[in-house]
């Protein structure tokens, strides 16, 4: 017995009146997916570049389409195969991506009339100069899907060769099954195919958590305190722009998953720390957390080699009113260390990684990665950890973190580092985290949450530097 696929709400609620505007959003979504596929690089770069001319509503719709197709690609291709006499492998990329966009709308978005979705999707082929016979071919498939969608297997029911369709590459599924077992790996895959929960970290330098929750509630925005982080708020049903939330302009919060919030806590109290290093700052989610927690006398150095990210880091810190004690250094960690800076009392290294713990937030990761990436990333991670450790003062704590679930990038790196650096030891994360988060800590004292509906997959190790006298 079959039932309709579970549907999610589309950000476009004007239905027929929005068809013309949504057509440009559809065309943009197709171009984004084609660009990502050809370059095999993160989708965000294409999205940011190609959506600049779209309205906020159309930008949101394009993101829904792009991320939806990336999360459900294998299932969408499975459905298309049921209705196409032409093998998918022989289709031109634009044809297949257009069909994926169309089928995703028909099976997952319930605010767009099927006829409007089909018509607007076929218009993208027409506007792209595709031949009429190809437009007719795609139109026929989408019309057939529309007629028979009530009888199609859901994503949970669909199988190929006796195996469930999990929308992840086979090598990744095989790896996780060896690590976590068949059921757990399937649960992780299915969770990755859903939209992530929006989680905020309250900037208590601006307002208390309770006050921000009240501000949300007064605007009928559901807000729930996080279970593990005393600074975290979940917004379970919010689908609007983050910039439209009350308190955003004032710097009252930063978007940050609860697992990432807990990683910063592993540095312990920062009130007695004079110098703190964020060695891989990125956009500054953890940098701003450090700046929020450090005492007025403390100084934070944030190292980020990329100019664009360094600029965004400064923007974030300025909005949060946390830039006064933070110095941004646009440099690699290696080059920064070569300047022989004064030592640090605490160091955070959120190193570049495979990102397999945050696939739900970045669905293109599953398609961009290949098995050989992990070994290459591991080499860089060990190098960063070694460099970072050389900058820590005696008695200081270094937190090594990734958003990966792969042992090579996580506990194996820690084991290799400790074997080569005997003056360092693991600090049991349970001594630093709230009791509710102890369930995320393994027997070695390492912080290793797997993805849950409220948390990303993550890894962190707190390392104490205690050289022999």
- Catalytic center residues: 403
C-beta of residue 401 within 8 angstroms of C-beta of residue 348? yes
**Looking at the DSSP assignment, which residues form a beta bridge with residue 410?**
none
Strands 392-402 vs 344-350: parallel, antiparallel or unpaired: parallel
SS (H, E, C) the chain: CCCCCCCECCCCCCHHHHHHHHHHHHHHHHHHHHHHHHHCCCHHHHHHHHCCCCCHHHHHHHHHHHHHHHHHHHHHHHHHHHHCCCCHHHCCHHHHHHHHHHHHHHHHECCCCHHHHHHHHHHHHHHCCCCHHHHHHHHHHHHHHHHHHHHCCCCCCCEECCEECCCCCHHHHHHHHHHHCHHHHHHHHHHHCCCCCEEEEECCCCCCHHHHHHHHHHCCCCCEECCCCCCEEEECCCCCCHHHCCCCCCCCEEECCHHHHHHHHCCCCCCCCCEEEECCCCCCHHHHHHHHHCCCCCEEEEECCCHHHHHHHHHHHHHCCCCCCEEEECCCHHHHHHCCCCCEEEEEEECCCCCHHHCCCCCCHHHHCCHHHHHHHHHHHHHHHHHHHCCEEEEEEEEEEECCCCCCCCHHHHHHHHHHCCCEEEECHHHCCCHHHHHHECCCCCECCCCCCCCCCCEEEEEEECCCC
CA distance 318 to 239: 25
C-beta of residue 447 within 8 angstroms of C-beta of residue 262? yes
């Amino acid at each position: 017995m079959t039932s309709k696929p579970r549907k999610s709400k589309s950000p476009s609620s004007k239905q027929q009146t929005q068809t013309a505007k949504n057509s440009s959003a559809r065309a943009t979504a197709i171009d984004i997916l084609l660009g990502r596929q050809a370059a095999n690089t993160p989708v965000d770069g294409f999205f940011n570049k190609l959506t600049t001319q779209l309205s906020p509503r159309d930008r949101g719709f394009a993101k829904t389409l792009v991320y939806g197709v990336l999360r459900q690609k294998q299932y969408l291709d499975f459905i298309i195969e049921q209705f196409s006499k032409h093998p998918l492998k022989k289709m031109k990329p634009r044809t297949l991506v257009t069909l994926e966009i169309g089928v995703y709308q028909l099976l997952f978005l319930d605010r767009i009339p099927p006829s409007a979705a089909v018509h607007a999707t076929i218009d993208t082929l027409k506007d792209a100069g595709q031949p009429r016979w190809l437009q007719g071919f795609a139109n026929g498939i989408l019309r057939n899907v529309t007629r028979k969608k009530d009888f199609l297997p859901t994503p949970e029911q669909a199988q190929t060769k006796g195996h469930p369709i999990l929308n992840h590459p086979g090598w990744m599924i095989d790896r996780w099954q060896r690590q976590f077992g068949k059921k757990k790996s399937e649960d992780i895959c299915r969770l990755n195919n859903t939209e992530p929960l929006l989680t905020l970290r309250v900037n208590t330098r601006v307002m208390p958590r309770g006050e921000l929750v009240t501000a949300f509630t007064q605007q009928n925005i559901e807000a729930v305190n996080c279970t593990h982080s005393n600074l975290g708020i979940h917004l379970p049903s919010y689908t609007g722009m983050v910039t439209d939330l009350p308190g955003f302009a004032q710097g009252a919060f930063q978007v940050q998953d609860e697992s990432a919030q807990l990683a910063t806590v592993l540095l312990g109290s920062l009130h007695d720390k004079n110098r703190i290093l964020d060695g891989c700052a990125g956009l500054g989610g953890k940098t701003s957390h450090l700046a929020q927690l450090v005492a007025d006398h403390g100084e934070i150095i944030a190292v980020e080699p990329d100019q664009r990210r360094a600029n965004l880091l400064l923007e974030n810190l300025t909005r949060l009113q946390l830039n006064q004690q933070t110095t941004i250094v646009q440099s690699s960690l290696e080059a920064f260390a070569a300047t022989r800076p004064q030592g640090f009392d605490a160091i955070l290294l959120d190193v570049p990684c495979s990102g397999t713990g945050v696939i739900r937030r970045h669905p293109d990761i599953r398609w961009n990665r290949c098995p050989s990436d992990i070994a290459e990333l591991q080499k860089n991670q060990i190098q960063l950890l070694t460099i970072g450790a050389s900058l820590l003062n005696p008695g200081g704590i270094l937190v090594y973190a990734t958003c990966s679930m792969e042992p090579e990038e996580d506990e194996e790196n820690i084991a290799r580092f400790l074997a080569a650096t005997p003056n360092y030891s693991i600090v049991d994360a349970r001594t630093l985290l709230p009791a509710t988060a102890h369930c995320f800590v393994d027997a070695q004292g390492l912080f290793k949450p797997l993805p849950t509906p409220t948390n990303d997959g993550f890894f962190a190790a707190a390392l104490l530097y205690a050289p022999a006298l």
